[in-house]
Amino acid sequence: MGTKTLILNQIQEYLNIDKDVEFARYLDISPQTLSNWKKRDSYDVEIIYTKCLFLNPGWIIAGEGEMLKFPKNYDSTPDTNYQKIGRFVHDSERSPIAKSQKLSPKTGKKLSPTLSPTHEKCQICSSKDAIITEQRERITDLKDRIDDLRDTIDMLKEQIAPQRKSAG
């Protein structure tokens, strides 16, 4: 079992969701997509992050560091009513709060600017962009290498052609 599959299983266990179908519903993906992620040891980081804001983004991306974004004494545990009603019930659904306040979808508590999901999403995007840039550079280098090898092959063909004519 690969790292990404282990991460998915740990999230599912943390959420206290027994069945993959329910976990897929929580992530708002098809059960087939979840099954493919587990088989291929991959997942969509953005989906996991946006559906599990209580998780440490670094842990989601690389499996490193603490799983939870908040300290253990911080109440970030998702509501266990998911099993009963098919979705999580957030504190914001239980008690009306001014709509101008930004609340954590998992805890219903007011977000501080340093915990803004948009800010952290930008950090994830920056990390992804850096990886994509590195991979593009690698692809460009490999294409250049392929062109060089093709030139070498053409040159060798030209050198061999007169020898073939004289031998044939």
Residue among 5, 48, 42, 55 at smallest CA distance from 26: 48
Higher pLDDT, 109 or 65: 65
161 phi and psi, to 5 degrees? -55, -50
Q: With 0-12 CB in 10 A as exposed, 13-18 as middle and 19+ as buried, what is 114?
A: exposed
Give Cα separations from 16 to 53, 83, 101 (angstroms). 16, 9, 29
H or E element, residue 85: helix 82-85
Sorting pLDDT into bands at 50, 70 and 90, what band is 63? confident
State the pTM of this model: 0.45
pLDDT of residue 85: 38
- Percentage of the chain modeled with pLDDT above 70: 68
Contact 48, 11 (CB under 8 A): yes
Cβ atoms within 10 Å, residue 15:
21
pLDDT for the residue numbered 109? 60
pLDDT at 141 over 50: yes
* CATH code for the domain defined by 1-112: 1.10.260.40
